[in-house]
């Protein structure tokens, strides 16, 4: 059997690092099992769902290296949901309810005051045909609830009904259907809530594993019951822990907190995001992983903690630097060319500067320094200016290589008597205009003798 998983966000905003965690868990699970990932958009909320958000999500997933085998939109699949509703109604498992939100809240408070669980009491099942007619004549339109199989003969006498599943992430799980209300599947205006379209699609698409955040654990019992009511065997479920901000706050697409688009536009590497999103909150150490294949090899959903994990943007920055500092020229060559960094010196330049970069785009600054000269306001004292000018008289003849820097500074040291910071810092300032940066032994051959002399103060 081919493994088929799905990532099913609602296109109501930019996906954040927490959404990406779910997408990556599914993608890596598919990679490990030679399976497929379906990208499914939960866009039945027509008012809030936007195609521009769906397009942005697809762009973010592609940037992360996630490659869905199909893209589906729930807004184009209403016939499937209508058929599911008809099947449930025919079986007597979907019943109309006419209570207003205020009436339901009042009943909930009464149950709580009596120390009873605040579950729906199925009062709508007691309505007579005349009562229903009167409600509808009064303008009431029903919402529709799924009758949970948590009773023997009398729906008003629910009994403990355990639903068990072996969670891919959390291990054995149990939910008691008697502890929950019959879920609303269809609103008063005929639109669908999340549960029915999701289950109907999972059946029709042959989803074998549902991997999602652990905020859905309590929903799973009712969804398993709905799968069976629609004549399907439920897929396997896995519920991973959620990510929060460093301060412990939840993430939201609407606020754009830690959005993938924002991380991408700030120059963060996709594998830095993927490494942290997948490995944080697991028993694996959080380290930069260079390829998705390597990350898939390390990925073990069962190694995920049950408690929430905090995402600190500083950590992704650390991973990003580590990846860039080891990145081969072949991997970044095209991106450098887009920054006008090309030609015979491009590879040597990259190897010289990568260890000092925060992002790949930062290489453009150092390319400009190498090609055009210092571009900052750091200046030499009068004493250092004279020292540097004399030092330039000692530049060795070409050809130059990495050893030229030592030959030159040894000669300068012998003549001037300077050493350490007093020797090297003025030379660095004259050559780059910066107090820190790449090894000058690597930069000097890129400057060449003529280019170095052009920086003489």
List pLDDT tens digits, range 397-454: 999 999 999 999 999 999 999 999 999 999 999 999 999 999 999 999 999 999 999 9
Whether 137 has a pLDDT exceeding 70, the answer reads yes
Give the pLDDT score at 312.
Answer: 85
Backbone angles phi, psi at 28, to 5 degrees: -70, -35
Distance CA 416, CA 391 (A): 8
Whether 253 has a pLDDT exceeding 80, the answer reads no
Whether 375 has a pLDDT exceeding 80, the answer reads no
Give the pLDDT score at 276.
Answer: 94
The pLDDT confidence band at residue 117, using thresholds 50, 70 and 90, is: confident
Whether 248 has a pLDDT exceeding 80, the answer reads no
Distance CA 29, CA 5 (A): 8
Q: Name the least confident of 241-245, 248-252, 259-263, 404-408.
A: 248-252
Give the pLDDT score at 260.
Answer: 94
Question: What sign results for the dihedral spanned by CA atoms 75, 78, 79, 84?
Answer: positive
Q: Which residues make beta-bridge pairs with 38? A: 6, 70
Please name the helix (run of DSSP H) or strand (run of DSSP E) that holds residue 220, with its range, or none: helix 217-229
Give the pLDDT score at 256.
Answer: 54
Q: What is the mean pLDDT of residues 152-164?
A: 96
Q: What is the mean pLDDT of residues 383-401?
A: 95
Q: Where are the beta strands (DSSP E) in 168-316?
A: 171-176, 184-186, 209-213, 236-240, 243-245, 309-311
**CA proximity to 222, closest of 187, 203, 196:** 196
Q: What is the mean pLDDT of residues 82-105?
A: 97
**Contact at 8 Å (CB) between 70 and 39?**
yes
List pLDDT tens digits, range 22-63: 999 999 999 999 999 999 999 998 888 999 999 999 999 999
- Chain Cα centroid distance, residue 127: 47
Q: What is the mean pLDDT of residues 349-365?
A: 97
Q: What is the pTM for the complete model shown?
A: 0.90
**Residue 9: helix, strand or coil by DSSP?**
coil
Whether 252 has a pLDDT exceeding 80, the answer reads no
Average pLDDT, the chain: 94
Whether 335 has a pLDDT exceeding 90, the answer reads yes
The pLDDT confidence band at residue 219, using thresholds 50, 70 and 90, is: very high
Q: Name the least confident of 52-66, 169-183, 371-385.
A: 371-385
Q: Name the least confident of 300-309, 346-355, 397-406.
A: 300-309
pLDDT above 90: percentage of residues in the chain:
88
Whether 71 has a pLDDT exceeding 70, the answer reads yes
Whether 380 has a pLDDT exceeding 90, the answer reads no
Q: What is the mean pLDDT of residues 283-301?
A: 94
> Cα angle vertex 388, ends 386, 392, to 5°?
120
Q: Name the least confident of 166-170, 216-220, 248-252, 361-365.
A: 248-252
**Contact at 8 Å (CB) between 373 and 450?**
no
Q: Does residue 250 or residue 282 have the better pLDDT?
A: 282
């Amino acid at each position: 059997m081919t493994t088929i998983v799905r990532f099913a966000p609602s296109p109501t905003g930019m996906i954040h690092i927490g959404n990406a965690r779910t997408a990556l868990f599914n993608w890596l699970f598919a990679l490990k099992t030679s399976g497929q990932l379906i990208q499914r958009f939960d866009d039945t909320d027509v008012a809030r769902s936007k195609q521009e958000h769906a397009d942005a999500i697809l762009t973010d997933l592609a940037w992360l290296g996630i490659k869905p085998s199909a893209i589906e939109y729930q807004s184009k699949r209403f016939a499937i949901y209508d058929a599911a509703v008809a099947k449930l109604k025919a079986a007597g498992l979907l019943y109309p309810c006419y209570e207003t939100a205020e009436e339901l809240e009042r009943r909930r408070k009464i149950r709580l005051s009596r120390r009873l669980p605040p579950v729906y009491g199925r009062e709508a099942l007691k309505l007579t045909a005349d009562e229903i007619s009167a409600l509808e004549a009064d303008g009431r339109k029903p919402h529709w609830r799924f009758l949970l199989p948590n009773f023997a003969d009398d729906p008003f006498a629910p009994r403990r009904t355990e639903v068990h599943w072996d969670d891919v992430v959390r291990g054995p799980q149990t939910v008691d259907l008697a502890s929950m209300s019959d879920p609303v599947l269809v609103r008063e205006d005929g639109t669908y809530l999340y549960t029915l379209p999701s289950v109907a699609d999972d059946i029709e698409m042959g989803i074998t594993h549902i991997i999602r955040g652990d905020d859905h654990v309590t929903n799973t019992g009712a969804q398993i019951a709905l799968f069976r009511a629609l004549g399907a065997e439920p897929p396997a479920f896995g519920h991973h822990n959620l990510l929060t901000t460093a301060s412990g706050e939840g993430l939201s697409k609407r606020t754009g907190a830690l959005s993938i688009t924002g991380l991408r536009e700030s120059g963060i590497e996709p594998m830095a995001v993927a490494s942290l999103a997948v490995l944080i909150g697991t028993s694996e150490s959080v380290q930069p992983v260079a390829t998705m294949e390597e990350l898939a090899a390390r990925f073990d959903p069962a190694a995920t903690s049950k408690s929430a994990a905090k995402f600190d943007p500083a950590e992704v920055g650390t991973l990003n630097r580590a990846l860039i500092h080891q990145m081969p020229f072949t991997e970044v060559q095209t991106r450098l060319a887009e920054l006008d960094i090309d030609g015979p010196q491009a590879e040597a330049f990259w190897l010289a500067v990568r260890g000092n970069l925060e992002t790949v785009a930062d290489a453009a600054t150092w390319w400009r320094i190498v090609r055009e000269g210092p571009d900052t306001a750091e200046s030499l004292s009068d004493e250092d200016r004279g020292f540097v000018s004399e030092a330039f008289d000692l530049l060795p003849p070409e050809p130059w290589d990495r050893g030229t820097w030592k030959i030159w500074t040894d000669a300068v040291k012998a003549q001037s008597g300077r050493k350490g910071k007093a020797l090297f810092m003025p030379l660095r300032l004259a050559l780059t205009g910066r107090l820190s940066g790449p090894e000058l032994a690597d930069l000097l051959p890129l400057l060449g003798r003529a280019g170095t002399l052009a920086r003489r103060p």
